[in-house]
Amino acid sequence: MRAVTLPYGRQCVDDDDVAAVTETLRSAWLTTGPKVEQFEQALAARTGTAFAVAVSNGTAALHAAMYGLGIGESDEVIVPAITFAATANCVAFLGGKPVFADVDPDTLLIDPASVESRITPRTKAVIAVDYAGQSCDYDVLAALTSSRGLALADDACHAIGGSYRGRPVGSLAAVNTFSFHPVKHVTSGEGGAITTDNPQLAQRMRTFRNHGITTDHRQREAKGSWFYEMVDLGFNYRLTDIQCALGISQLPKLPAWIRRRQAIARRYDEAFDHMPAVRPLAVRPEVSHAYHLYVIRLELDRLRVDRAAVFSALRAEGIGVNVHYIPVHLHPYYRRTFGTAPGDCPVAEAAYERILSLPIFPAMTDEDADDVIRAVGKVTEAYAR
């Protein structure tokens, strides 16, 4: 048993990150300044895209992406049932209807066949989610959506630094969204971004994050002009220079952090190979997995207890396990507002009963990982049928 609980995720902030933030605090620009552009350029370069638009969090990124695609009243957008609620909420923000597709039982990624079955004349877009850090099958999804004139978005909040068939995450869909919350790979405290190769889309999203106004404060200062026009209803979704300075300092460390996450995952994989009640999610060979999460499925017919009992026993061992996610269509808001119900996505619902996320973050030591492995072995053996 660990004296201090090992969390499922935690940020890495070093002295150079602190120095970068401090320097920006002493500069002329705390927001809408040069650090924003610098962070956007670094993100675009890292994801192999033409444009990145920095926003205040991952949810704002999704909202801006859906606005950019022109989603509005009575439009339907297909999203996976297993994701963070914000993936679906961003459609509802704009008056649209999120429609839940089921997931693949082995990867818990959106199932293209289920997507196809949900398409109606009102469908405008599909949001794929690179769940746990593994990219969806974008070749199949791109063929499916483009042949029907639908837009494809990637909620890549789990997957920065990963790739699909050698193509970097962030370049896999028309719009791709990121979060820089502290549990994610790279943090700016709170923060988010959208990447795209489409200049009109990038411009629409920049306007949206700034109240629907076409120019920002720095652009007007540079021109010596006071004039601006609000062309649409937008939000204040700006990311500050203070936050961007942290993001700029963090981003170059991403490749080493991904390698560390992959090494911890390999250590888990090897250990769980010998535990019949524990089954990690499948990993497809064409993907370089970013491992935001390491998710196991419990073989419940080999156990005398349910997932909740295993969860509590692991927490009692000092292992900060978590559950990602309650299927979104089961939340009261969705049931009440969109009439969703149990049975809509049976694969997701069955998976939800048996999944657990284990601790994984770059600062974890091999000894930390071995504590997790020992605790999972101890608990599943004690509850073995």
Ligand X SMILES: *Cc1c(COP(=O)(O)O)cnc(C)c1O
Q: Are 153 and 174 in contact (CB under 8 A)?
A: yes
Query: Minimum CB separation from ligand X for residue 199, in Å?
Result: 25
Identify which of residues 83 and 145 has a Cβ nearer to ligand X in the complex. 83
Of 66, 157, 246, 356, which lies in the binding site for ligand X, with binding defined by CB under 6 A?
157
Q: Would you call 35 a catalytic residue per the annotation?
A: no
- Options 35, 97, 124, 184, the catalytic residue: 184
Of 9, 33, 58, 68, which lies in the binding site for ligand X, with binding defined by CB under 6 A?
58
176 binds ligand X (CB under 6 A): no
CA distance 255 to 285: 19
Of 158, 185, 209, 329, which lies in the binding site for ligand X, with binding defined by CB under 6 A?
158
Question: Looking at residue 103, what DSSP letter applies?
Answer: B
Identify which of residues 163 and 179 has a Cβ nearer to ligand X in the complex. 179
Q: Which residues contact 64 (CB under 8 A, 6 or more apart)?
A: 53, 55, 194, 205, 208, 209, 237
Identify which of residues 57 and 250 has a Cβ nearer to ligand X in the complex. 57
Stretch that binds ligand X, among 80-88, 222-230, 248-256, 343-351 (CB under 6 A): 80-88
Of 68, 112, 133, 192, which lies in the binding site for ligand X, with binding defined by CB under 6 A?
192
Of 39, 67, 84, 294, which lies in the binding site for ligand X, with binding defined by CB under 6 A?
84
Q: Which parts of 254-353 are beta strand (E)?
A: 278-280, 287-288, 294-298
Could you tell me the two tokens for 43?
């993100």
Closest CA to 209 of 40, 50, 85: 40
For tokens 């939000």, what's the residue?
235
- Type of residue found at 339: G
SS3 at position 373: helix
Of 24, 47, 83, 171, which lies in the binding site for ligand X, with binding defined by CB under 6 A?
83
End-to-end Cα separation, the chain, in angstroms = 23
Size of the site for ligand X (CB under 6 A): 14
Stretch that binds ligand X, among 1-9, 83-91, 118-126, 371-379 (CB under 6 A): 83-91
Distances in Å between the Cα of 214 and the Cα atoms of 65, 117, 193, 225, 228 are 17, 39, 19, 13, 7
Of 155, 317, 344, 371, which lies in the binding site for ligand X, with binding defined by CB under 6 A?
155
Identify which of residues 131 and 272 has a Cβ nearer to ligand X in the complex. 131
Of 11, 32, 57, 107, which lies in the binding site for ligand X, with binding defined by CB under 6 A?
57
Distances in Å between the Cα of 168 and the Cα atoms of 135, 165, 239, 275, 286 are 10, 8, 24, 33, 12
* Ranges within 115-144 binding ligand X (CB under 6 A): 129
For tokens 């746990």, what's the residue?
132
216 binds ligand X (CB under 6 A): no
- Type of residue found at 355: I
Stretch that binds ligand X, among 10-18, 19-27, 56-64, 263-271 (CB under 6 A): 56-64
Closest chain position to ligand X (CB): 58
Q: Which strand ranges, in their side-by-side order, compose the sheet holding 278-280? A: 278-280, 294-298, 355-358
* Ranges within 298-327 binding ligand X (CB under 6 A): none
CA distance 320 to 12: 17
CA distance 314 to 7: 12
179 binds ligand X (CB under 6 A): yes
What is the binding site for ligand X (CB under 6 A)? 57-59, 83-84, 86-87, 129, 155, 157-158, 179, 181, 192
* Active-site residue list: 184
